[in-house]
Structure 1
Amino acid sequence: MIKKKYDHINDFLEDGSFKNWCLQNNGTDINFWEFWIANNPEKGALVNKAKDLVLGVSFDAKLVSKEKVAFEWNKLEAKIQSNKKIKKRKVRFLPRFAAASALLIISLSIYFAVGKTKVTHKTNYGEILNIKLLDGSDVTLNSNSTLSYYKDESRKVWLSGEAFFQVDKKVATQAKFWVLTDDLSVEVYGTSFNVNTKKKKTAVFLEEGSIWLKLKNGADKKMIPGNYIAYSAKKDEILEDKNIFNPIIKTSWKDGSLLFENLSLEKAMEKIEESYGFSIVFKEDKTKNILITGAVPITNIDICIKAIEKSVDVTIIKKDNSLIISEK
């Protein structure tokens, strides 16, 4: 059920039975861990820290209540688990606090010379928006992103930022679906994939099906499930080409969280910067290399900051448009 030795916080976080004990989901696991904790009192502090990360972070009620944190994190855990089991998801909206603030700009009165109507969906920092296209495809648009298409041609879209696509396959017509960015275009019939155009490159992760990438330099790349390719037209170079064995790492954001797996704090904070727009300042260089594992919410900056502080034992101060990180 569990390892014999638990010396690091990741040992607990990676154990399903420990999560069941934290969430009080399984009688057998609850009894086992109660017995284990009673017989390993020297691990009490480590257990409590790991439990905090599973349930949410306990902090001053003036900021966010413990009940609110537990509620949101339990909901987050449930979404992540269900996403692993259900490949084809139903149309749904994110938690009210994220969806309610999403900014939708629809340009219905802009006509071009050819008489087409352009539709544009845009999100601000910290916002995530679910979109149902006219062809039946679903798109989840990440924060600080823009998706555009012509009203009568929704199977060709232009993306700036990040989005997850669940493309509806047109069996009768075999109509293609296109995603166009500054670096490349994605050609697909029906599949699930993630596209990110931030950091002056386009990164594509294929969750299900198969797609073709048409790079700006004229080259073609075929992708199969699990492939992750990042390409920069400016550098005319494929920056990454690898397989991802835990797909939720690349797609968990669409359920309101970021999942880190032995990622340096510097790289993790780059993700926070993308989601919220804050500049990241490290007071000590050595804190950049601290490894972080776990999930943090991306629709509530206060809970996000507290979760990271608790996980890697640092202090994060929000000042103006910056997040200042220092040792405790």
Structure 2
Amino acid sequence: MIKKKYNNLNDFLEDASFNNWVLQNNATDIHFWEFWIANNLDKKELVDKAKELILGFSFKTDFVNKEKVALEWQKLESKILAQKTIPKRKVRFLRQFSVAASILLLVSIGFYFLNSTSKVTHKTNFGEIINIKLQDGSDVTLNSNSSLSYYKNESRKVWLSGEAFFQVDKKAATNAKFWVLTDDLSVEVYGTSFNVNTKKNKTDVFLEEGSIWLKLKNGADKKMIPGNYISYSADKNKILEDKNIFNPATKTSWKDGSLFFENLSLEVAMDKIEETYGFSIIFKDENCKNILITGAVPATNIDICIKAIEKSVDVAIIRQGDNLIISKK
């Protein structure tokens, strides 16, 4: 965050980060301004005024007037009357043409229906990450052992099993919603960046930028702002976690090819390794579970991953078939 002085309203109104704080659009800016305001209480009056001005902006909505509607209706009536005066000698030809047109229309509708209902599915293997560009312009990064499905002509509604990071393209002209559906909940957005993980019989959602609504399977709604992390289980019918994450990398680093651990127990960290690579984790020494680990390991190379963990927390990890066996050195 660039440090500068804020002495008048324009200093606040022209600052992009201040606008992000007012509109709750960016976790980093929100945290910065909350800290700044707490330490600059003498500027609170200016801050409140600037906030009111930003939130007070409105746009005029234009409606079609009655005269315009009446004129267009008259044009339509004229066309209908003109069609009624078509000479009889043309009727037979028009009937033949209308039959052909009807057949063509039915074929077109059938083709469109089949095309629009065809489902597209992307799947990944363990240790594999892929990038997907949806038809609406949105970008999806699909994590290992995950799948994403959507209908060909309706890519703004997707079904997720596993984990994915979404960068949804906002449709300003139509204000079209984007939906992510899981077994536990649905995520409703217009344009934003967020992470969804459906593993471990629950759904975890982390919002990096923008705002979203969660519609839980129990019927409840939940609004999220940048930095929020919510974990919900439909099986248990409750929210398991609801907190703010101050380091987004702990939830989204995987999309860049690494898993970032911040003061986690080795047991929790290895749960993530199990999700990513598909190995079962066996601790030969129970005390190893409580060792704390901080650092990053690769999300696409298990051999380098094992060596990085061994070096970081001074343990031995042995691969035996589909198992990773952990013990003290």
Q: How would you bin the TM-score normalised by the shorter chain?
A: 0.5 to 0.7
Partner of 2:325: 324
How far did 1:166 drift?
0.1
> Which whole-Å CA distance do the structure 1 matches of 2:231 and 2:178 have between them?
20
- Equivalent residues in 2 for 1:1-328, closer than 5 Å: 116-328=117-329
- C-alpha distance in 2, partners of 1:187/1:128? 24
8 Å contact kept, 2:143–2:163: yes
**Aligned equivalents of 2:171 and 2:215: distance in 1?**
21
User: Which residue identity does 1:204 align to in structure 2?
Assistant: V
Counterpart residue number, 2:99: none
Higher helix share: 2
Q: Whole-Å Cα distance in 1 between the matches of residues 302 and 285 of structure 2?
A: 22
Letter in 2 for 1:184: L
1:243 Cα deviation after fit? 0.1
In the alignment of these two chains, the number of paired residues is 220
Amino acid at match of 1:217: N
* TM-score between both structures, scaled by the size of structure 1: 0.66
Runs of 4+ in structure 1 deviating by more than 6 angstroms, as ranges, are 111-114
Root-mean-square deviation over aligned CA pairs: 1.6
Corresponding residue SS for 2:128: coil
Once the two structures are TM-superposed, the CA of residue 113 in structure 1 deviates from its matched residue by 7.7
Q: Tell me the CA shift for residue 225 of structure 1.
A: 0.1
Q: Tell me how far apart the structure 1 counterparts of residues 247 and 274 of structure 2 sit (CA, whole Å).
A: 23
For 1:206, the aligned partner's letter is L
Residue 263 of structure 1 aligns to which amino acid in structure 2? L
CA distance in 1, matches of 2:269, 2:197: 16
Counterpart of 2:307 in structure 1: which amino acid? K
The alpha-carbon distance between structure 1 residues 293 and 115, as it changes in their structure 2 partners (threshold 3 A), is closer
C-alpha contact (below 8 Å) 2:116/2:151 kept by paired residues: no
* SS at structure 1 position matched to 2:144: coil
1:298, distance to aligned residue in structure 2 (A): 1.0
Residue 21 of structure 2 corresponds to none
Equivalent residue letter for 2:281? I
Q: CA deviation at 1:112?
A: 8.6
Secondary structure of 2:255's counterpart equals helix
- Tell me how far apart the structure 1 counterparts of residues 299 and 310 of structure 2 sit (CA, whole Å): 15
- Highest CA radius of gyration, 1 or 2? 2
Letter in 2 for 1:209: G
Q: Matched residues in 1 for 2:127 and 2:113: separation? A: 32
Letter in 1 for 2:230: I
* SS of 1:266 mapped into structure 2: helix
Cα distance, 1:214 vs structure 2 = 0.1
CA positional deviation for 1:114: 9.1
The residue type equivalent to 1:222 in the other structure is K
Secondary structure, counterpart of 1:140 in structure 2: strand
Preserved CA contact (<8 Å) 2:115 2:153: no
Q: CA deviation at 1:120?
A: 0.2
TM-score, normalising length: structure 2? 0.65
Aligned to 1:26: none
Q: Counterpart amino acid of 1:195?
A: V
Secondary structure of the corresponding residue to residue 294 of structure 2: strand
- Code of the residue aligned with 1:233 in structure 2: it is A
Q: Provide the rounded CA distance (Å) in 1 between the counterparts of 2:253 and 2:267.
A: 19
Aligned residues with identical type, % of pairs: 82
Q: CA deviation at 1:184?
A: 0.1
Distance 1:201 1:130 in 2: 24
- 3-state secondary structure, aligned to 1:245: coil
**CA distance in 1 between partners of 2:305 and 2:225 (Å):** 33
